[in-house]
């Protein structure tokens, strides 16, 4: 099931809105990928690096303000971040700072400083950082509740990065009650649904 990332104009002509979508489709076609959403995260990371090599590598100036040597264009970076997040959700992949770094070539240390306000990117820097962090949790929790993956590979990341509680309950005799990954995921379903409902009411 190959998905084209083109959009139709008013005249019915299919075009690419940006080079990221263009080279994403090119990567999928060159490797004869039928359904990117079923490919492992490592394949998605390889795709992000492929896009980087064709769009941003050797063209760092594209990401900077005009006539600037070291100041990133915050509005442009924010737009690219939105494209990246949309594609991750489209193909059921994890949103992460590392992934965004692979796509743009922006160092992860630089992105992390945006979360502490230690850069000159401007007020949008914090927005971009928080957007990546929030959507990392969202993408992982979506994977958890939608099924098809081992919850014990997702829950540790949610626990480590977003303080989800992975504690195993104990029985009356004090022994740990071992549960299947499916049972653990089911326990978290109400929590995910409540978070999704809250997100919808925030708009």
Tens-digit pLDDT profile for residues 154-169: 888 888 888 887 554 4
Within-domain flag for 185: yes
pLDDT of residue 184: 60
- Provide the domain count of the chain: 1
Which structural domain, as residue segments, surrounds residue 189? 7-168+176-201
Within-domain flag for 68: yes
Long-range contacts of 71-79 (CB under 8 A, 24+ apart): 71/120, 71/121, 72/106, 72/121, 74/121, 74/122, 74/123, 74/124, 74/125, 74/128, 75/124, 77/104, 77/106, 77/121, 77/124, 77/128, 78/124, 78/127, 78/128, 78/131
Within-domain flag for 2: no
Low-confidence ranges of the chain (pLDDT < 50): 1-2, 168-177, 199, 201-203
pLDDT of residue 80: 95
DSSP string, 60-127: GGGGBPTT-SS-B-HHHHHHHHHHHHHHHHHTT----HHHHHHHH---HHHHHHHTTT-SSS-THHHH
pLDDT of residue 155: 84
pLDDT of residue 84: 97
> Which residues make Cβ contacts (< 8 Å) with residue 38, sequence separation at least 6?
none
Within-domain flag for 1: no
pLDDT of residue 45: 98
Considering the entire predicted model, what is its pTM? 0.77
State the maximum Cα–Cα separation within the chain, in Å, rounded to a whole number.
71
CA 60 – CA 63 distance, rounded (Å)? 6
Within-domain flag for 192: yes
pLDDT of residue 183: 62
Within-domain flag for 51: yes
Q: What is the chain's alpha carbon radius of gyration, rounded to the nearest angstrom? A: 20
Look up residue 111 and give its DSSP letter.
H
The mean pLDDT value of the chain amounts to 81
């Amino acid at each position: 099931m190959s998905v084209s990332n083109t959009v139709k104009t008013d005249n019915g002509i299919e075009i690419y809105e940006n080079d990221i979508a263009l080279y994403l489709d090119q990567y999928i076609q060159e490797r004869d990928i039928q359904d990117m959403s079923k490919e492992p995260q490592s394949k998605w990371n390889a795709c992000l690096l492929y896009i980087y090599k064709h769009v941003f590598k050797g063209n760092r100036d594209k990401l900077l303000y005009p006539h600037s040597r070291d100041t990133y264009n915050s509005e442009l970076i924010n737009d690219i971040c939105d494209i990246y997040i949309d594609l991750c959700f489209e193909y059921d992949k994890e949103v992460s700072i590392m992934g965004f770094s692979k796509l743009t070539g922006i160092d992860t240390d630089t992105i992390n400083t945006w979360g502490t306000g230690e850069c000159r990117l401007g007020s949008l820097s914090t927005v971009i950082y928080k957007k990546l962090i929030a959507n990392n949790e969202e993408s992982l929790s979506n994977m958890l509740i939608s099924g098809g993956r081992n919850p014990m590979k997702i829950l540790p990341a949610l626990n480590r990065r977003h303080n989800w509680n992975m504690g195993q309950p104990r029985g009356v005799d004090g022994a740990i009650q071992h549960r299947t990954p499916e049972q653990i995921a089911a326990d978290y379903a109400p929590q995910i649904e409540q978070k999704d409902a809250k997100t919808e009411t925030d708009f």
